[in-house]
Homo-oligomer: A and B are copies of this chain.
Amino acid sequence: MPHLTFEYTDNLRADGDIPGLLKKANAALIAQGGVFPVGGIRSRAICHSEYCIADGDGDGDADYAFVHATLKIGFGRSEAEKNAACEDLFAMMKAHFAAIAAERYLALSLEIAEFSEADTWKQNNIHTRFRKA
């Protein structure tokens, strides 16, 4: 934990700098003052090539795009901690896509979901790297 997933439409592939987005996302989570252990942060992006947005560009002059992020975290953070992490992540997303949003139709969204420790099984030796450091 946490797991972060960015879904994005393939019309953002050329200009969206998804590798940069992923690095900024991890940096934003690491910057939350230890709320999220570094070794547990896993961000990934899924590029969609099959999608239909709104009216499906019915009249041919629109070219909609979206980025939807889902942050799944383990149980136990305070509301303030969760809110701060999401505010920072979403501010980063808006800044990252600001130039694109100024030029085209773009929907950005972020959701957070939490599960209880009881519902999760884990084995992660990446943590050892950061405990040693």
Contact = CB atoms under 8 A, between A and B. Distances in A.
Given A22-B50, A113-B115, A106 B121 contact: no
A83 B55 CA distance: 22
Contact of A68 (B3, B26, B129): B3
A99 interface: no
B53 A42 contact: yes
Contacts of A111: 72, 115, 119-121
A66 B115 CA distance: 19
22 contacts: A1-B109, A18-B50, A23-B56, A26-B54, A26-B56, A39-B107, A42-B51, A42-B54, A44-B48, A54-B126, A64-B126, A90-B123, A105-B129, A106-B124, A106-B125, A107-B124, A107-B125, A108-B124, A109-B121, A109-B124, A110-B121, A112-B119
